[in-house]
Amino acid sequence: MNIMEIFDTMEYGPAPEAANLGLAWIAEHQPFGLFINNKWVKPASKQYIESINPSTSKPLARVAAANSEDVDKAVKAARTAFESWGKTPGHVRARYMYAIARHIQKHARLLAVLESLDNGKTIRETRDIDIPLVARHFYYYAGWAQLMEQEMPGFAPVGVVGQIIPWNFPLLMLAWKIAPALAMGNTVVLKPARYTSLTALKFAEIMQEVGLPPGVVNIVTGEASQVGEALVRHPDVNKIAFTGSTDVGRSIRRATAGSGKKLSLELGGKSPFIVFDDADLDSVVEGVVDAIWFNQGQVCCAGSRLLMQENIAERLVAKLRVRMEHLRIGDSLDKGVDIGAIVSPGQLKEIQRLVNQGVEEGAQMWQPSWACPTEGYFFPPTLFTNVSPATTIAQVEIFGPVLVAMTFRTPEEAVALANNTRFGLAASVWSDNTNLALDIAPRIKAGSVWINCTNLFDASSGFGGYRESGFGREGGKEGLYEYAQPVWEARMKQEFHIAENSGNGAAASKSSADGRAMAAQQEAGEEEHKDDAGENDGMSAYRDALPAIDRTPKMFIGGKQARPDSGYSREVYDRQGRAIGQVGEGNRKDIRNAVEAAHAACGWASGAAHTRAQILYYIAENLSAREDEFARRIVQQTGVSHADAAREARASISRLFSYAAWADKYEGVVHRPPLRGAVLALPEPIDVIGMACPDEFPLLGFISLVAPAIAMGNTIVVIPSPQSPLSATDCYQVLETSDVPAGVVNIVTGHRDTLSQVLADHDDVDSMWYFGPLEGCRRVELASAGNMKRTWVSYGHTRDWLDTVQGEGQEFLRESTQVKNIWIPYGE
């Protein structure tokens, strides 16, 4: 092409990044071994898988195909390393992590080239986004390692962590997982995605360079069925952190149910990109490019649903088509291309299949006139219009460069359309009216909301989903709690483990409260005796002659006392086996009514925190007026001494005060990531929480769960302790007289496990708390996989609810909230 012709077309020439150093590094190392205990070891299977360059479809490298034997070896190495790494001072961990960050920067170009070769993503993105963010994560979390002892007193590492990452951001996902894990003192076994292991293996080499102690980080490559599943099921892994598809996330939830493994899942999305008619449309067009054509649309939070206000739709679509016509597609190492290759032929086929389905379903497809390269796995940027919200392409994660556009008329319609998905990972809102954008952001069910921007990430700001996009957060301080546990909990698990191994499991699981109850029974008997003596006057003789007025509590649903649907009652017994009352036998229908009532009370979340605080104080005030009566009820049900029961009643009042105090103080933070702007990290209620109360401390256990949940704006359906439900049913009148709006607290008595199962299965329940036997915990976790609801279960352990460290505080507030990060860039 001569200069005149270049001036005519204004076409960019090729600007290839040199691949030679990356290819030389691959040649020098392959076939790649597994990285276990800081050594390269051959896989037990002696098998290798091939890594392909998606831009050329040619083989790139041979990578070890591990199996469960290798996984076991890696977990053992991590366990041994944990003994010392878990006790290493934060400053020492910070030094290692600082060194890792520095070494990533030193090898930045090699890492960027390897990532582009292996994944097919453009060098522009790996060089300017992925790798700098990887370094940033290690710097940021080096800081938390340094600060852990001061800022998180009372927290310990979780132990050995199994981490499973996808292929779309191979090294960045590794950093999101490994950096917070190491900062908190955990050791790691990481499985990269089968298609993209190379940068993880270069990272392993960096671990050797910085002299990280052996076994702290282990990298095990191979297939999901051999490595991923073995890691998930390994009994000596304490936590699984997974990023990938919702289907696999669901299967991991099921596989780990009842195992006591901590779990965080970052899953799929179908994120809305909402454009109001006052937005700057040229900026919007560039935003759309970054939302859906960044990384070929293989981004969990890709803005894949374009929602346009009706009056600008035509203009915006026309502008978009012009821009799409000018996008450049090609070899990932070409610095001038906008769109690289799709990761694999399988993924390419799946995108094509969904696009065909979109056409069959009647949507109108548009692609630019230019052709994709014929070598490699390429798919052109694609725009669908005339899309109906219920069609497959509007609902399913396509995970490719495919945008589906729909229209709305009013902000209310925009919110309804945005939330019309089972996912909830991210959203973008475009408007020049900040008031409107900031009004819309909290109404969208998503973990990240970008205002007039999209796909921004930073280590300081948490990332993670609502609904079927998973649970748990990566990034920010909230990300640390995924890799840490309260010291008392770690100690309790350790004691339980020792007792179980010494054959004393039954003793280990015995509730401390049960012990308390038994020890106090004698004392209680004596006190009862004393009370009788004190009341031996004429009046009490008259009272004794009258039969007691029957009090049979019903269900408490939607602010009303409702008869149980079954028409059955269940007997309540004291510790001597004497019948002391009856409560309704709740069933599936009662739970469904309660969930409906809880949803109808959603205005509770948007009300002022000050009001919620006032109502909690009011509940405390009304409870305190009947403190003695509540204490007597505790004695009657549990047989503890009157003194202990009085202590429990008083602690319940104090607990209500605590959460009244927190209601307007657990407010979130403002992050200042490296951009001109701010990120508001707001703890939002989870919505409807189902909860099964513990048997120990019938009043305090109930209040300790109810109070934080409603303080944070959730509405709840509570199953009181089946053994001692009367303390909870006695609260009906307290709730009725304390201005608690109808439907905020719903109480259904009955069989704990039967009712919990209905709640855990229910698609309109967003989180389930269960404090009861291990088998019940397992069932709840298993059932929760249906809509991927969050769970918080006790694994059959009991806690000392009187203790303010175990029984109240920020752990309860974290379980009651999910953090939404709202990104607000500013400046011209």
Catalytic residues: 266, 300
In the complex with ligand NDP, the residue whose CB is nearer, 173 or 275, is 173
**CA distances from residue 621 to 627, 631, 656, 803 in whole angstroms, order as listed:** 10, 15, 9, 22
294 or 657, CB closer to ligand NDP?
A: 294
Query: 471: closest CA among 817, 128, 87?
Result: 817
SS3 call for 381: coil
Q: Among residues 429, 434, 424, 419, which one has the least CA distance to residue 451?
A: 429
DSSP symbol at 118: H
Torsion angle, alpha carbons of 573, 575, 578, 584, to 10? 0
| Smallest distance from ligand NDP to CB 247, Å | 7
Q: What's the residue count for the chain? A: 828
What sign for the dihedral angle of Cα 353, 356, 362, 363? positive
Q: How far is the CB of 302 from ligand NDP (least distance, A)?
A: 10
Query: How many CB atoms within 10 Å of residue 120?
Result: 31
**What one-character-per-residue DSSP string does 174-240 give?**
HHHHHHHHHHTT-EEEEE--TT--HHHHHHHHHHHHHTPPTTSEEE--S-IIIIIHHHHH-TT--EE
The residues binding ligand NDP (CB under 6 A) are 164-168, 191, 193-194, 223-224, 228-229, 232, 243-245, 248, 251-252, 267-268, 300, 350, 397, 399
Shortest distance, position 292 Cβ to ligand NDP, whole Å? 14
Sequence-ordered strand ranges (E) for 409-469? 426-430, 448-451
Residue 662 Cβ, how far from ligand NDP at the closest point, in Å? Answer: 33
Look at the block and give the residue holding tokens 């037990």. Answer: 44
Minimum CB separation of residue 389 from ligand NDP in Å reads 19
The pair of three-digit structure tokens given for residue 164, joined into one six-digit string? 């499973």
**In the numeric block, which tokens belong to residue 669?**
């933070």
Q: How many CB atoms lie within 10 A of CB 701?
A: 26
Nearest CB to ligand NDP, comparing residues 98 and 167: 167
Residue 49 or 710 having the CB closest to ligand NDP: 49
CB of 374 to ligand NDP, least distance (A): 23
Task: Name the residue nearer to ligand NDP (CB basis): 168 or 798.
Answer: 168
Closest distance to ligand NDP from the beta carbon of 231 (Å): 7
Residue whose CB is less far from ligand NDP, 86 or 464:
464
Q: CB 445 → ligand NDP: shortest distance, Å? A: 17
- Cβ proximity to ligand NDP: between 168 and 729 the closer is 168
Q: How far is residue 49's CA from residue 275's CA, in Å, rounded to a whole number?
A: 45
Is the Cβ–Cβ distance between 579 and 724 less than 8 Å? Answer: no
What's the distance, Cα to Cα, between the start and end of the chain in Å? 40
- Using CA atoms, how far residue 533 sits from 76, 528, 529, 537, 576, in Å, is 65, 9, 6, 9, 22
Is residue 799 within 8 Å of residue 809, measured between CB atoms? no
Shortest distance (Å) from residue 273 CB to ligand NDP: 17
Do the Cβ atoms of 729 and 703 come closer than 8 Å? no
Question: 81 or 299: whose CB is closer to ligand NDP?
Answer: 299
Closest CB to ligand NDP among residues 248, 693: 248
Nearer to ligand NDP, 464 or 750 (CB): 464
Q: How far is the CB of 716 from ligand NDP (least distance, A)?
A: 30
The answer to whether 570 and 749 are in contact (CB under 8 A) is: yes
- Residue with nearest beta carbon to ligand NDP: 228
CA-closest candidate to residue 171, choices 133, 140, 208, 206: 133
DSSP structural state of residue 780:
H
d(CA 786, CA 254): 10
CB of 751 to ligand NDP, least distance (A): 34
* Contact yes or no for 341/284 (Cβ under 8 A): no
Backbone angles phi, psi at 484, to 5 degrees: -140, 160
Closest distance between ligand NDP and the C-beta of residue 350, in Å? 6
Residue 353 CB, nearest approach to ligand NDP (Å): 11
Three-state secondary structure readout of 468-537 = HHEECCECCCHHHHHHEEEHHHHHHHHHHHHHHHCCCHHHHHCCHHHHHHHHHHHHHHHHHHHHHHHCCC
The dihedrals phi and psi of 197, each to the nearest 5 degrees, come to -105, -10
Burial 343-377 (b: 16+ CB within 10 A, else e): bbeebbeebeebbeebeeeebebebbeeebeeebb
Judge if the upstream peptide bond of residue 157 is cis by omega within 30 degrees of 0: no
